[in-house]
Amino acid sequence: MALRQWMVTHEWMVKPTAQTEWIERRGILVWIAEVFTSLGAGLYLVSLYFNNWWGMLAGYLIIMCLKLPPHLIYFGKPLRFWRTLIPFTDSWKTSWFTRGINFTVYFGTIVFIQLVVGYIAINVYPGTVWETWDIVLRVPGGILGFLVGIYSGFIMSYCRSVPFWNTAMLPLILIIAGVTDGLALMLAIGLVDTSVDISAVEFVSRILLIVNIIFIAAYVWNATYISKTAKYSAMLLLKGKLAPVFWIGVITCGIISPLVISVSSYFSGDASSPLLITAIGFHTVGAIALKYILLKAGIHNPILPVKTSAYY
């Protein structure tokens, strides 16, 4: 019995082993946080582009109320998070975790001020110096929103033991997907805010959905050439146990269905509310599924050389 337990415990030395820390049990909090990171940062950036204050507010609230709490709970002892802030630590020089916390905290502080100033500029003192300050504050707000949306990709890409993640393409995949998620939520805001140019949002969304397809295909294809372990991760998505989530959740719901609805509404000249709601729902499912399969397909390299048959 003891020998069998030792063999099971040490299988990771000779077999590709799935990482579970960021996707199972307590690690589900990481998955939840990453979903809301994508939605919140993407919506804020898109709202900056389309100059929509309500979208900026919604993106801010998603980051601060739905993304930040799960991350702090996962780390444990959340009241001590201040120890990771500059100037109380130097670990930001080497740790993307620390950088990410700093990005989020500074985003929360600066964007809060920007939203207050922006509200005053729009509703209280329009056409005054308040508008100038709003524009000035949008610059660091946009930079920090971009960093919040992309830093998790750098955290994962720096994991050398997981070759499927260890690529510069991963941060690009996440930020492009995040902006596309933000466009979907902007369409939702457009259902109640008539100032949103739905046609313009749909136009940009169509482009980014196609870009998403290209980048995801290139990412998975590239993984088959990196190493045996990365190829094993790719095969899990294409025809393994993660294939249903990948093909149905990510590809069909997250990309193809919203793209078909968007193209059909373009040719019909009518973006009806039921169709928009359906597209938004499909895309949100895709956003959740994408973060799941990326985390779930993280397979550690075995320490000892193994035969190819160990992967299949």
User: For 20-33, how does the pLDDT look when each residue is reduced to its tens digit (9 = 90+)?
Assistant: 888 988 889 999 99
User: For residue 306, what pLDDT is reported?
Assistant: 59
pLDDT of 1 above 80: no
- Answer yes or no: do 225 and 138 share one domain: no
The verdict on residue 109 lying in a domain is: yes
Distance CA 36, CA 41 (A): 8
Mean pLDDT of 74-92: 73
User: For residue 7, what pLDDT is reported?
Assistant: 46
- Answer yes or no: do 213 and 149 share one domain: no
Mean pLDDT of 278-283: 92
Q: Is 259 or 8 the better-scoring residue by pLDDT?
A: 259
Contact criterion met (CB below 8 Å) for 149 and 284: no
Using alpha carbons, list the distances in angstroms from residue 198 to 184, 191, 194, 275, 309.
Answer: 10, 9, 9, 13, 52
Q: Is 26 or 16 the better-scoring residue by pLDDT?
A: 26
- Answer yes or no: do 39 and 153 share one domain: yes
> What is the token pair recorded at 235?
């095969």
Of the chain, the percentage scoring pLDDT greater than 70 comes to: 90
> How many Å is the Cα radius of gyration of the chain?
21
Handedness of CA 121, 127, 131, 135 (dihedral sign): positive
Q: Is 266 or 286 the better-scoring residue by pLDDT?
A: 286
Domain interval for residue 252: 195-312
- Answer yes or no: do 139 and 220 share one domain: no
pLDDT of 188 above 90: yes
Pick the closest to residue 173 from 205, 225, 214, 221 (CA basis): 214
- Answer yes or no: do 297 and 206 share one domain: yes
CA max distance for the chain: 78
- Answer yes or no: do 32 and 153 share one domain: yes
Q: Is 117 or 199 the better-scoring residue by pLDDT?
A: 117
User: For residue 305, what pLDDT is reported?
Assistant: 61
Give this prediction's pTM.
0.90
Q: Side-chain half-sphere of 144: how many Cα atoms within 13 Å?
A: 21
Mean pLDDT of 4-28: 71
The verdict on residue 6 lying in a domain is: no
Distance CA 220, CA 216 (A): 6
The verdict on residue 84 lying in a domain is: yes
Contact criterion met (CB below 8 Å) for 21 and 155: no
pLDDT of 308 above 60: no
Q: What is the mean pLDDT of the chain?
A: 88
Angle between helices 28-50 and 169-190 (to 10 degrees): 60
The verdict on residue 111 lying in a domain is: yes
Where does the pLDDT of residue 5 fall: very low under 50, low under 70, confident under 90, or very high at 90 and above? very low
pLDDT tens sequence across 208-266: 999 999 999 999 999 999 889 999 999 999 999 999 999 999 999 999 999 998 888 77
- Answer yes or no: do 228 and 288 share one domain: yes
- Answer yes or no: do 141 and 200 share one domain: no
